[in-house]
Amino acid sequence: MRTLTIKPKAITHNLNQVKKMAPQAKVLAMVKSNAYGHGVAAVLPALQQADGIGVATFIEALEARQLGWKKTIGLVEGAFTADEWQQAIEQDISCVIHHEPQLEWALDNIPPANSATRVVWLKYNTGMNRLGFNAESVMTAAKRLHEAGYQLILATHFANADNRTHPLNSKQIQRFTNVLKALRETISANIKGSLCNSAGIVNFSEHHHEWVRPGIILYGSSPVIDKSAHELDLQPAMNFSAQIIALQTVSANDAIGYGSRWVAQQDTKTALVSVGYGDGYPRVVNGDAYVSVIDSTNNRSYLCTVIGRVAMDMIVIDVSAVPEDVALLDSQVMLWGDAPHIDEVAVHADTISYELLCRVTMRPKRIQA
Amino acid sequence: MRTLTIKPKAITHNLNQVKKMAPQAKVLAMVKSNAYGHGVAAVLPALQQADGIGVATFIEALEARQLGWKKTIGLVEGAFTADEWQQAIEQDISCVIHHEPQLEWALDNIPPANSATRVVWLKYNTGMNRLGFNAESVMTAAKRLHEAGYQLILATHFANADNRTHPLNSKQIQRFTNVLKALRETISANIKGSLCNSAGIVNFSEHHHEWVRPGIILYGSSPVIDKSAHELDLQPAMNFSAQIIALQTVSANDAIGYGSRWVAQQDTKTALVSVGYGDGYPRVVNGDAYVSVIDSTNNRSYLCTVIGRVAMDMIVIDVSAVPEDVALLDSQVMLWGDAPHIDEVAVHADTISYELLCRVTMRPKRIQA
């Protein structure tokens, strides 16, 4: 059975790691894209010690409210329409305001004084060049919002925080710091700041400001290029496993799978595992990609390379080095989780763990550990 | 709103194309992996003229029965356990038998004479080297199953049918034809054959035998490397779209997105589209990947390249060549569907349409056209 095991305790552990790294800041825990594929219903109870959650769409915000989340919800791209702004007020959601139309919606339709929607995350574009006001217009926007009674959090987003020495980081930090200082001096000393995603939390501890916005780090992946999840004491929150459904020995010179891409150099013991890209395992992995066959009796596991093309419903693995009483029909195979770590799988798939997590399909059975 | 529009009429059209190409054969329409991501509930009504459906897991088979599918269901990897074999009998499911354990389950537990489970798809490994008996053991297995009262369909699977001139194709065809002939001569003239997936249907019309097993072709993608979906008169069954949520002009030398991978050569009008890998758009696309901005008033569309890194919740596109009254806030953007065709997107993402279809996440709203 293809199985996705979600570990809420790992998420709580990882949240605590964030709190240790950013002890002064409030935490907006990112649960967009169905909590990075983990399932928002499974994840919210593990985030009770967060100060708020962040989502990308109004539907995600609504889902969290329906699941009983009472604290802050930050809509990180803001309302998409004037109508969504009105709905945000009704659901007490705090919105990003990143361009003029959103500013006008907010000024035309001011929520009640006690509404969470009175708190807005004003987005300043410091170099990501996707969302946000420029330095001049952000000052004007802030002034107008403040005068209309909004409480402001100045927010920006790093483009390269994973790579601490990238030259854009210091520029983004400098621009943000300058504007925040100017806003506090000219508009209100109460304006808050939010600069750091997961990578920023790790790499720029002196710039955490009032709110940090951890995402991937909560799910147990490393957000930075020079430290592993293990080095950051993070726990993977998702185990993705399947089972061996056939065993065979292929002869030397036999090819396996679509495109006959892998050719046996010698007689090779292989196992067929009932999982594929139809479950969310990436179709394109390089020849070094591996999974682990679990020996549950002895609490051991054996790394096995994935050979041939990943298909929709199955992969073939080389079990030559696995004891015969371990590589059996029905034996459990871990695609990612405790081992291999998803960050390693991502490298073999030329992507990042974020994408693998989000794109697991609905076919695997979902359980919680 | 991220939207996935499923077009059952396109699927029926594509099924009719299959029937035209293989007029003598019965059709086992593949609906595994949630009907290649289209949603099995939306797809089954469009397949009423198929003779059966194919699924990869027992849960998928059960789901189809619960949705009211009364005709043949083929479980293409067969039962995974003796217990699943028993459940297959209870649900009248026809199973592949590809190795000794499945053979023993079938011989130990023979379904009633009128059960669909009396029909088995006996898998012969002709060169894919994933599943199936070899030439010698398949004869023995066939004899034992026949004597136990089973009706047999000899089945195999091409490794390279998309590439008509690949040398393995003729070998697989020859092996299959030889064994089928021998089975008919020595065991029963009533043994059927099934060789062709979508690509086989297109490329090997003289080898359709009694059952063909179309998959990707039903969903409107080309299964072969030398003919487009258009040339095969197939209709895409999924439109994937989203909306522009911000517009801006980036200055020359400004970089966009994570990793600052894309740098503007000149001042460039860009649009932010609310879709990303968290919705199932592939994260890794090359610099030629494009989407289309829809001008619904004039029933036109404008191709725009995707610039910078695809993120979880958004992409940036170059709208320099789109009229200002078309590239507007809320304008619809098509990721794949009528244009660009998903086969083109797959090329830019270094994969095949099958994977893109299966790995759309649950975030986009699903509707039918």
Burial environment of residue A76 by CB neighbours within 10 A (0 to 12, 13 to 18, 19 or more): buried
Q: Does A279 reach chain B within 8 Å, measured CB to CB?
A: yes
Could you give the CA distance from residue A359 to residue B11 in angstroms, rounded to a whole number?
A: 25
> Cβ(B30)–Cβ(B53) under 8 Å?
yes
Q: Does B32 reach chain A within 8 Å, measured CB to CB?
A: yes
Instruction: Give phi and psi for B241, each to the nearest 5.
Output: -140, 165
In this prediction, what percent of chain B has a pLDDT beyond 90? 99
Looking at residues B73-90, what average pLDDT do you find? 97
| CB-based contacts of B66, cutoff 8 Å, min separation 6 | none
Burial environment of residue A140 by CB neighbours within 10 A (0 to 12, 13 to 18, 19 or more): exposed
> Cβ(B342)–Cβ(B356) under 8 Å?
yes
For residue A265, what are the CA distances in angstroms to A20, A250, A298, B25, B198?
A: 51, 10, 31, 39, 31
- Inter-chain touch B274–A57, beta carbons under 8 Å: yes
Looking at residues A215-235, what average pLDDT do you find? 98
- Position B95 scores a pLDDT of 98
Rounded to the nearest integer, the mean pLDDT of chain B is 97
Q: Does B208 reach chain A within 8 Å, measured CB to CB?
A: no
Rounded to the nearest integer, the mean pLDDT of chain A is 97
Cα A206 to chain centroid distance, Å, stands at 23
> Cβ(A363)–Cβ(A231) under 8 Å?
no
H/E segment holding residue B66: helix B58-66
**Chain B residues with CB-CB distance to A279 below 8 A:** 33
Residue type, A130: R
- Inter-chain touch A130–B314, beta carbons under 8 Å: yes
- Inter-chain touch B129–A358, beta carbons under 8 Å: no
Could you give the CA distance from residue B314 to residue A313 in angstroms, rounded to a whole number?
A: 29
- Residue-wise pLDDT for A229-246, tens only, equals 999 999 999 999 999 999
- Inter-chain touch A313–B352, beta carbons under 8 Å: no
Could you give the CA distance from residue B284 to residue B359 in angstroms, rounded to a whole number?
A: 14
Query: Which architecture does CATH list for B8-219?
Result: Alpha-Beta Barrel (3.20)
What is this model's ipTM?
0.97
- Residue-wise pLDDT for B10-39, tens only, equals 999 999 999 999 999 999 999 999 999 999
Q: Does A45 reach chain B within 8 Å, measured CB to CB?
A: no
Residue type, B80: F
Could you give the CA distance from residue A14 to residue A259 in angstroms, rounded to a whole number?
A: 42
Optimal mutation site among A3, A33, A249, interface B, most CBs of chain B within 10 A: A33
pLDDT category at A207 given cuts 50, 70, 90 is: very high
- Residue-wise pLDDT for A314-356, tens only, equals 999 999 999 999 999 999 999 999 999 999 999 999 999 999 9
In which region does residue B82 sit, left (phi positive, over 0), alpha (psi from -120 to 50) or beta (all else)?
alpha
List residues forming the annotated binding site of B for substrate.
130, 312
- Position A286 scores a pLDDT of 94
- Inter-chain touch A361–B34, beta carbons under 8 Å: yes
**Chain A residues with CB-CB distance to B361 below 8 A:** 33-34, 37, 358-359, 361
**Chain B residues with CB-CB distance to A160 below 8 A:** 258-260
- Which residues of A are marked as active site? 32, 258
DSSP 8-state symbol, A99: S
CATH code linked to domain A238-368:
2.40.37.10
Q: Token pair for residue A149?
A: 């009674």
- Position A327 scores a pLDDT of 95
Optimal mutation site among A36, A123, A130, interface B, most CBs of chain B within 10 A: A130
- Inter-chain touch A99–B246, beta carbons under 8 Å: yes
> Cβ(B333)–Cβ(B242) under 8 Å?
yes
- Position B301 scores a pLDDT of 96
- Position B128 scores a pLDDT of 95
- Where do we find the tokens 């979600």? A6
In this prediction, what percent of chain A has a pLDDT beyond 70? 100
- Residue-wise pLDDT for A136-179, tens only, equals 999 999 999 999 999 999 999 999 999 999 999 999 999 999 99
H/E segment holding residue B86: helix B82-90
Could you give the CA distance from residue A264 to residue A270 in angstroms, rounded to a whole number?
A: 10
Could you give the CA distance from residue A342 to residue A360 in angstroms, rounded to a whole number?
A: 12
Which of B9, B181, B258, B365 does the annotation list as catalytic? B258
CA angle B226, A260, A303 (to 5 degrees): 135
Annotation-wise, does A312 bind a ligand?
Answer: yes
- Position A6 scores a pLDDT of 98
Minimal C-alpha gap between B20 and chain A (Å):
26
Q: Does B124 reach chain A within 8 Å, measured CB to CB?
A: no
**Chain A residues with CB-CB distance to B257 below 8 A:** 128-130, 159
H/E segment holding residue A89: helix A82-90
- Position A165 scores a pLDDT of 97
Optimal mutation site among A87, A103, A358, interface B, most CBs of chain B within 10 A: A358
- Inter-chain touch B359–A362, beta carbons under 8 Å: no
Minimal C-alpha gap between B109 and chain A (Å):
19
- Residue-wise pLDDT for A294-311, tens only, equals 998 999 999 999 999 999
**Chain B residues with CB-CB distance to A56 below 8 A:** 274, 278, 312-313
**Chain A residues with CB-CB distance to B277 below 8 A:** 354-355, 358-359
Among residues B61, B345, B78, the alpha carbon closest in space to that of A363 is found at B61
> Cβ(A265)–Cβ(A349) under 8 Å?
no
Q: Does B63 reach chain A within 8 Å, measured CB to CB?
A: no
- The three-state secondary structure class of B337 is coil
Q: Token pair for residue A235?
A: 């726990």
- Position B362 scores a pLDDT of 97
Minimal C-alpha gap between B31 and chain A (Å):
11
pLDDT category at A184 given cuts 50, 70, 90 is: very high
Domain ranges within chain A, ordered by starting residue: 8-219, 238-368
The A residues from 70 to 89 touching B (CB cutoff 8 Å) are 76-77, 80-81
Q: How many CB pairs under 8 A join A and B?
A: 186
Q: Does A366 reach chain B within 8 Å, measured CB to CB?
A: no
Looking at residues B62-82, what average pLDDT do you find? 97
pLDDT category at B195 given cuts 50, 70, 90 is: very high
- Position B247 scores a pLDDT of 96
- Residue-wise pLDDT for B290-338, tens only, equals 999 999 899 999 999 999 999 999 999 999 999 999 999 999 999 999 9
Q: Does B8 reach chain A within 8 Å, measured CB to CB?
A: no
